Amino acid sequence: MPRVVLVTGASAGIGQATAAVLAAKGWSVVCASRRGQAVEGAEALVMDVDSDASVEQGTAEVLGRHGRLDAVVACAGWGVGGPFETTPLPEARALMETNFWGVARCARAALPAMRAQRSGRLVLLSSIGGVLGLPFQAYYSASKFALEGLAEAMAYEVAPFGIGVTLVEPGNVRTEFTERRRVLGPEAAGDAYSAAMTKALSVMERDERNGVDPAAVAKVVLKVLEGRRAPRRVSVGRLSERIGITGKRLMPQRAFEAAARGSLGV
């Protein structure tokens, strides 16, 4: 019997690539998104991760169709570009609603079935920006840092039931995320920040467009799901980006930040 996986954010980017790779490898894939689109060989599910009712109903529908749920891959998310000081708080809250609470909703909805099975995998798409703070994307980084802590703490709780939790931390990836990032205009950013913001975001956008293909992330997700044990964290991307994670842990803070400034456009 094929293993059943629910992939959120499956209508584009990393979520879509992950759904395609898993379907090609024989998984029974349910593609969840607000648009309700599915890749070839997978099922579509209209689900909004910002809504408690939608997530609960969607998860129940998956269980009704298949009778089990072996994995959730939480890919839904988006970004805001702008200074911390001037980013409107409603915009920041909306981002947290999807990037953090949306993942929490999906994990909570899946856990009862996984506990009953005494097996399951939760793969949560974090980011290198969840390990390294990104200037002019402070709220995006905050959402991913929060996700890192949530997953690490939750993993202790669910391990006795045979449930593994893994954070996948991509660096720069070529997806629609770059174009869909909500960026404050110079006027909204304020005179004090607009020049630095424009420079930093242009550097990050260039690096994203030159990033790895989303299929590279999808293949790592497949490896995590089919591995005997679930690693806590896996980074994906160019070595020059991934080495920053190790550098932050090993280098003195001032030395690390001095080395990182150029790559971050500040």
Boundaries of every domain in the chain: 4-264
Identify the pLDDT of residue 223. Answer: 98
3-state DSSP call for residue 6? Answer: strand
Q: In the chain, what are the helix, strand and coil shares in percent, each to the nearest 5?
A: 55, 15, 30
The DSSP bridge pattern shows strands 233-236 and 80-81 to be unpaired
- Residue identified by tokens 């991307």 is 237
Which residues face 169 on adjacent strands?
Answer: 235
In CATH, what is the architecture of 4-264?
Answer: 3-Layer(aba) Sandwich (3.40)
Measured over the CA atoms of residue 160, residue 218, residue 105 and residue 169, the dihedral's sign is positive
Extract the residue ranges of the chain whose pLDDT is less than 70.
Answer: none
Let me know: does 33 contact 47? Beta carbons within 8 Å: yes
Helix ranges (H only) for 68-193 are 89-96, 102-117, 138-158, 177-180, 186-189
Identify the pLDDT of residue 170. Answer: 97
User: Helix 102-117 crosses helix 52-66 at what angle (to 10 degrees)?
Assistant: 30
3-state DSSP call for residue 156? Answer: helix
3-state DSSP call for residue 10? Answer: coil
Let me know: does 164 contact 122? Beta carbons within 8 Å: yes
Identify the pLDDT of residue 262. Answer: 78
Amino acid symbol at 107 = A
Identify the pLDDT of residue 239. Answer: 85
- Residue identified by tokens 């990393």 is 14
Residues sharing a CB contact under 8 Å with residue 170, sequence separation 6 or more, in sequence order:
14, 125, 127, 128, 212, 217, 235, 236, 237
Identify the pLDDT of residue 255. Answer: 86
List the catalytic residues.
11, 126, 140, 144
Rounded to an integer, what distance in angstroms lies between the CA atom of residue 26 and that of residue 8? 18
For 151, the token pair is 């997953």
